[in-house]
Amino acid sequence: MENEFLKNRLNVNRRHFLGKAAVGLGSLGLGSLLMPNLFKGDMAEAGLPLGLPHFAPKAKRVIYLFQNGAPSQLESFDYKPMLNKLAGQDLPESIRNGQRLTGMTASQTNFPMVGSYFKFAQHGKSGAWISELFPNIAKIADDICIVKTMNTEAINHDPALTFLQTGAQVGNRPSMGAWLSYGLGSENQNLPAFCVLLSRGRGNGQGVYSKLWTNGFLDSTHQGVVFSSGEDPILYLNNPEGTDKTSRRRMLDKLAELNHLGFEENRDPEVEAKIKQYEMAYRMQTAVPELTDLSKEPDHIIKMYGPDCLVPGTYAANALLARKLSESGVRFVQLYHQGWDQHGNLTGEMPLQAQDVDRASAALVTDLKQRGLLDETLVIWGGEFGRTNYSQGKFGVDNYGRDHHPRAYSIWMAGGGIKGGTVYGETDELGYNIIKDPVHIHDFHATVMHTMGLNHEQLNYKHLGRRYRLTDIAGKVIPGLLA
Amino acid sequence: MNSKVIRVSFFAFIAVAALAIINIKCTPSVGQEIPDVVDYNFHVRPILSDRCFACHGPDEKKREANLRLDTEAGAYAALEDNPKAHAIVKGNPEASEVYKRIVATDTSIKMPPPSSNLTITENEIKIIKKWIAQGAKIKKHWAFIPPQKSELRKADKDWVKNEIDYFTFDKMKSVGLSPSDQASKETLLKRVSFDLTGLPPTVEMQDAFLKDESPNAYEKVVNQLLKSKHFGEKMALNWLDVARYADSHGYQDDGLRTMWPWRDWVIHAFNSNYSYKKFITWQLAGDILADKMKWHPKAKEMLLATGFNRNHKITQEGGVIDEEYRVEYVTDRTNTFGKSVLALTLECAKCHTHKYDPISHEEYYGTFAFFNQVPEKGLFGTIDASFADPPNMRIKDEDVKSIFNFINKKDTSKLEVMVMKDSSKVRPTYILERGNYDSHGKVVDFTTPKAILDFKGYDKNRYGLTRWLFDDKNPITSRVYVNRIWEQFFGRGIVKTTGDFGMQGELPTHPELLDWMASDFKQNGWNIKRLVKQIVTSATYMQSSVVKDEHKKIDPENKYLARSTRMRIPAENVRDHVLATSGLLNPEIGGPSVKPYQPKGLWEVATSGRGSLATYVQDHGKDLYRRGMYIFIKRTVPPPAMLIFDASNRDQCEVQRTRTNTPLQALAMLNDPHVLESARVMAQEELSKNTSIDLAINNGFRKILCRMPSKKESDILKKYFEEELVFFKKQPQKIKSLQKIGEYEHKTVKDPVALAALLQTFQMMFNMEETLIRI
């Protein structure tokens, strides 16, 4: 059985390469920052080669629109009119049922429930309830799968984010993007397999940190590369003032001559590798600015993502850039939009946050669809946990806050192998506990890997004596999410 | 799969695509020969541990069929469900259930079961069969048997310089290799300078060494470098990774902390050649020792050293549960203890008994107990509440003038450092079920893993723990340190997995050498400088690094040391090299960390907006030119040029860095303003000397490459210089923008065109492959 898998996969691989060869040598060349497990004859544990999926994948690439700080599910995708009816009443202890509280509400004497200040309506064929804060996402209801039963153990941002990104609340384990880079390599030899884009909204923010896109114990070539909105889209990409492409070329030519002389002396294969890395750096200097230049995008695209997309560093600009990177073969594009931590003034802040992301998120899905790429691109939208159904601090039906809630929250996914136009899982009528079809973080990871053609139990890495996986020792694929 | 070290990015050329497909079909090459005498420790246990122990090993909760293969009693016993059968019948593989199961084709009885995704290769099966046939002797794990000095091996007397060489000679001969020639004097000088100080030899040092024809010329240089104040800096680098030292608290708000006086102490300790025993004892138990010896003039210094155990991250996130994080800190200390001084993956026993090594769940928490006595909080306060959460110590200005004269305190502001302290009342330590902070199991007493050495008769505190560690009967402490130092100088430990001496770790390539050195180190008072000198004056170390055909064929990884290994210098030293070469380096030792040039916006885009580290405020003047190790480490956004060259993010204890070779490194060397500024300053200096261009190029080459250029190299460099002259003559407007780089004084020179061309020439030299290689 296993051999058959392998045979099939090798065939796929050969076709893949012959296809590439027809495009020409230029598109290949140098290990992405970089990939090249396929060529190392490196073997994964079960004797399966890295750089190839374990079975036929639906998705080839991931774009993860991370809403950092935890957007409230109760004002977005989990409609709970009962909370409006019971507004001000104390959450029954039987519902809370021992859930530990964060330090911010642990001393609160009562837990007054509060319903959404924003109106909900049903959208699409599935009749999904979506709040008025997300009118554009509502329009793509038939393309997305809303998961209402995500759950985690972490109750604070740092451990929850770290858990969602690396499969463990603490520690320095590789993040999802690094795992996929390790497992599948890169599709584009001039770009990193794992790119990270950062933006910040107007709501209460929580920082991000490089640990979220770390390679952990994997080779550092799998580390997420941050694209910045500043002068250098990648660190140190631009030539210094006073030099240009031709002078850089002259230097690299002479440098190669000198390095070859060195090689004749020391015969170290590393020298050859070095020369090639300089050549790839040179090609990146052309490829990356072309890609990050959004000014040449046609008007209808600009219109779709909104005028913000021409302002570097905004969520909209990053969403558009994510499409371009993904289209160019970047395996995993990770966005973080900060500012979703509404402990207070939720009614004031959440509309601003939604305004930042609603149009561009929907545009990205539509854009991919129009290009015929949605089928092979998995788009994920969501935060690290949910928010409580009771108010934090001063209570008021039009001005309230919500604390962290790990037991149930909503995200949505679209494209690559995901069943669009569905709502998965149910919470109780108070939106506190899951009553049907829970999706734990580990299950989410297993499912994402499944869409990419990877068995989450087989993609592992032995480090200091132990085999590690993204899903640690748990996780199961959720068939209900799959097309 | 364990090729964490020296990983090169290989390149995907279409030409090799076909080859790659063939490659994938072959299993990675394992020694295909079956040894005449199969040794349990070296041949059998690695297979059993990796493929069997997870279900048939130390962890009784996960043990299948109540069969345990890691002990004699378990492996030879009758099977529980079939008392007539035995897992292993000495001398009779066919009667041994283990053998029957691994060769079975019926998947319902086959071992390991297909569901485990693990397989045993044909060759491995042959080894197990032969081992059983030869009597199936089970031995104690090699690392838990105390090291002994064995007889020196036979070796070529003309080649050997000290004891090390007898062992390496014997080993390389056994695989069919011979020692390489001694490296040239220029190579040796560059190698030993970088290895001992992290800095290039100056042109004056080069001249003096080349001229010195006395037989002990090299030894004189070694002695000089060992005395250099930069020796301590170089040695501290690895220890700062181990100790996860940083200048911020970590976690998401990531506020400022002031642990740098502790970092200054580490440098001081290496420079003063504190014995390893003192170095570790003070760091692990200096507070208890200081309490016992209040009269001691260095009592305060002992306390300062304990900052080691407070370097872990500390959260400032408002909503956290205090106990959850307090337990996290104790866990970090426990795991760091395991990895740094025992080279054991203690952390694997946090949630359950270790699956491979004899470390029980209870022993984990017994060790945890030592570090669980600190009167500390999980959340002391939110951001900027404290740069040094209690317990802490005040560094007084009068102390800085006397006992703390190694602390580079620059002003009179209040300075506090976190240190260790035990509460007066012992806090009970519970086994935490599945490792959860709030799932208390039974109370445990202070202890350590018994398989290493029984914790009997020692004080039940961290001081007792250090007595256990440095007990003459402790088999592991000296091996671990000797191995880590060895790795620093050879690029690969005798045990390659420097952080794992357990069953799943690699076996030593030179077990007798490791044991000889570990014993010798102990017998000579744990003297670190002596150990280092022993290594760098060995013939093994002094070999040329030229890679010959037979090396590629027999030993591409250089396990057998028939040559020296070319290694890229550590991230911090990349910067040091560039700055030292141009004369910009500010050689000051220690002090608060500095913020040199950094691409704009990195801190700002990732911050929560809270605290004094929300924005990056760059330093100016001399502080721009401090050594790499003094660059401010904000944990959530570590210095980018350091990470690009594989520095640790200081998140957790790390004993080993990877060494990659990536295009991002090329971009950093080509475009980082530090490198460009250095090239500019060098060009300025050379031109202001009014020497010829040939001489200027030659001087630059000697500084950057630490040797004379060959004729061919000179020709290429000169030609490049002339091409650039032509370019800048045509485009004079570019000269100004090119030399604008950097804040260091811009001197006017007579010939700005030559300046620009020379700048480019030096810049190219900085980018030569050899420049960053410790050859």
Q: What is the pLDDT of residues A245-279, one digit of tens each?
A: 999 999 999 999 999 999 999 999 889 889 988 99
pLDDT at residue A49, rounded to an integer: 53
* pLDDT score at B32: 56
The answer on B55 and B197 residing in a single domain is: no
B410 plus B462 within the same structural domain: yes
Nearest to B769 among A106, A172, A274 (CB): A274
| Residue range A274-317, pLDDT digits in tens | 998 899 899 999 899 999 999 899 999 999 999 999 998 999 99
Kindly state whether residues B654 and B682 are assigned to the same domain: no
Query: Is B348 contained in some domain?
Result: yes
In a domain, B499, yes or no: no
| Number of domains composing chain B | 5
Q: Is B506 at the interface with chain A, CB within 8 A? A: no
User: Do B130 and B194 sit in the same domain of this protein?
Assistant: no
Question: Could you tell me which residues are beta bridge partners of residue B393?
Answer: B417
Give residue A108's pLDDT. 87
How far is the C-alpha of A360 from the C-alpha of B709, rounded, in Å? 57
pLDDT over 60 (residue A47): no
Q: Are residues B712 and B650 in the same domain?
A: no
**pLDDT band per the 50, 70, 90 thresholds, residue B70:** confident
SS3 B525: coil
- B719: closest CA of chain A, how far (Å): 9
Nearest to A206 by CA among A337, A76, A334: A337
Q: Is the confidence at residue B21, as pLDDT, over 60? A: no
Alpha helices in A64-156 (DSSP H): 81-85, 93-96, 135-139
Largest CA distance in chain A: 82
Residues of B numbered 730-769 whose beta carbons fall under 8 angstroms of chain A's beta carbons: which are they?
Answer: 734-741, 756, 760, 763-764, 767-769
pLDDT band at B216 (very low <50, low <70, confident <90, very high): very high
Task: Summarize pLDDT for B284-322 with one digit per residue, the tens.
Answer: 999 999 999 999 999 999 999 999 999 999 999 888 999
> Residue A131: beta bridge partners?
A120
Say yes or no: B235 and B223 in one domain: no
Instruction: Determine the pLDDT at residue A25.
Output: 28
Whether the CB of B540 is below 8 Å from some CB of chain A: the reply is: no
Long-range contacts of B168-175 (CB under 8 A, 24+ apart): B168/B510, B168/B513, B168/B538, B168/B540, B168/B560, B168/B561, B171/B509, B171/B510, B171/B513, B171/B560, B171/B561, B172/B560, B172/B561, B172/B562, B175/B554, B175/B555, B175/B560
pLDDT at residue B15, rounded to an integer: 29
What is the pLDDT averaged over residues B379-403?
A: 91
Taking 70 as the threshold, does the pLDDT of residue B449 lie above it?
A: yes
Q: In whole angstroms, give the CA distance from residue A470 to residue A184.
A: 14
**According to the model, what pLDDT value does residue A218 have?**
87
Q: Which of B283, B270, B653, B652 is nearest to B469 (CA)?
A: B283
Q: For all residues of chain B together, what is the average pLDDT?
A: 92
Q: What is the pLDDT of residue B330?
A: 98
Same domain? B206 vs B245: no
Asked if B713 and A228 come within 8 Å (Cβ–Cβ), the reply is no
Q: Are residues B649 and B733 in the same domain?
A: no
The answer to whether B661 contacts A200, with C-beta atoms less than 8 Å apart, is: no
Rounded to a whole number, what is the distance in Å from the CA of B84 to chain A's nearest CA? Answer: 34
Q: How many CA atoms lie within 13 A of A362 on its CB side?
A: 18
Give the long-range contacts of residues B214-222, CB within 8 A, separation 24 or more.
B218/B188, B218/B192, B218/B537, B218/B542, B219/B537, B221/B189, B221/B192, B222/B192, B222/B196, B222/B533, B222/B536, B222/B537
pLDDT value of residue A6: 41
For the residues B448-470, what does the mean pLDDT come to? 97
Rounded mean pLDDT, A139-147 = 98
Region B747-755: mean pLDDT is: 92
Q: How many CB atoms lie within 10 A of CB A122?
A: 12
Give the CA dihedral B434, B437, B440, B443, nearest 10 degrees.
100
In a domain, B763, yes or no: yes
Substitution target from A187, A255, A263 for chain B, most B beta carbons within 10 A: A255
Tell me whether B432 touches chain A (CB under 8 Å): no
Q: Per-residue pLDDT tens for B175-193?
A: 999 999 999 999 999 999 9
* Each residue's pLDDT tens digit, A54-66: 888 899 999 999 9
CB contact under 8 A, B670 and A248: yes
The answer to whether A331 and A177 are in contact (CB under 8 A) is yes
Does any domain span residue B756? yes
> What secondary structure does DSSP assign to B229-287, as a single string?
THHHHHHHHHHHHHTT--SB--TTT--B---HHHHHHHHHHHHTT--HHHHHHHHHHHH
- The domain boundary, picked from B80, B104, B139, lies at B139
In a domain, B678, yes or no: yes
Is residue B145 situated within a structural domain?
A: no
Does one domain contain both B283 and B432? yes
The pLDDT, as a whole number, for residue A31 is: 28
What are residue A430's phi and psi, to 5 degrees?
Answer: -95, 0
Cβ–Cβ gap A211/B658 under 8 Å: no
Number of Cβ pairs closer than 8 Å across A and B? 322
- Asked if residue B146 is part of any domain, the answer here is no
Give the whole-angstrom CA distance, residue B17 versus residue A21: 10
pLDDT at B30 over 60: no
Please give the pLDDT value at position B273.
98
Residue B42 pLDDT > 60: yes
* Contact at CB, B345 and A14, closer than 8 angstroms: no
**Does B744 have pLDDT greater than 80?**
yes
Which of B7, B9, B49 should be substituted to probe chain A, the one whose Cβ sees the most A Cβ atoms within 10 Å? B9
Q: Between A241, A270, A313, which is nearest B8 by CB?
A: A270
Band the pLDDT of B373: cuts 50, 70, 90: very high
Same domain for B637 and B705?
no
- The residues with which A194 forms a beta bridge, in sequence order, are A332
Residues of B in contact with A25 (CB under 8 A): 14
Specify whether B95 is located in the same domain as B209.
Answer: no
Q: Give the distance from residue B229's alpha carbon to the nearest chain A alpha carbon, in angstroms.
A: 32
d(CA A9, CA A7): 5
State chain A's mean pLDDT as an integer: 87
Q: Is residue B546 within 8 angstroms of chain A, CB to CB?
A: yes
Q: Which residue of A has its CA nearest to B502?
A: A465
Cis preceding linkage at A289, omega within 30: no
CA-based nearest distance A39→chain B, Å: 5
Would the pLDDT of A43 be above 80? no
Q: Which residues of A touch B664 (CB under 8 A)?
A: 33, 225, 234-236, 281
Chain mean position to CA B329: 22
Residue B645's identity, in one-letter code, is: F
**The domain boundary residue, chosen from B662, B689, B704:** B662
Q: Which of B25, B712, B741 sits opposite A240 (nearest CB)?
A: B741
Of B662, B694, B712, which one is at a domain's C-terminal end? B662
Q: Is the same domain home to B284 and B211?
A: no
Q: Treating both helix axes as pointing N-terminal to C-terminal, what angle do B752-766 and B693-705 enclose, rounded to 10 degrees?
A: 30
Output the pLDDT for position B120.
92
Residue carrying structure tokens 């006073």:
A242
pLDDT surpasses 90 at A378? yes
pLDDT tops 60 at residue A235: yes
Smallest Cα distance from B151 to chain A, Å: 32
The range of the structural domain enclosing residue B106 comes to 31-139
pLDDT at B634 > cutoff 70: yes
Domain presence at residue B60? yes
Tokens coding A66: 């991370």
Residue A223: its pLDDT value, please?
Answer: 87
Read off the pLDDT of each residue in B132-141 and give the average, rounded to a whole number: 91
Distance to chain A for B10, nearest Cα, Å = 6
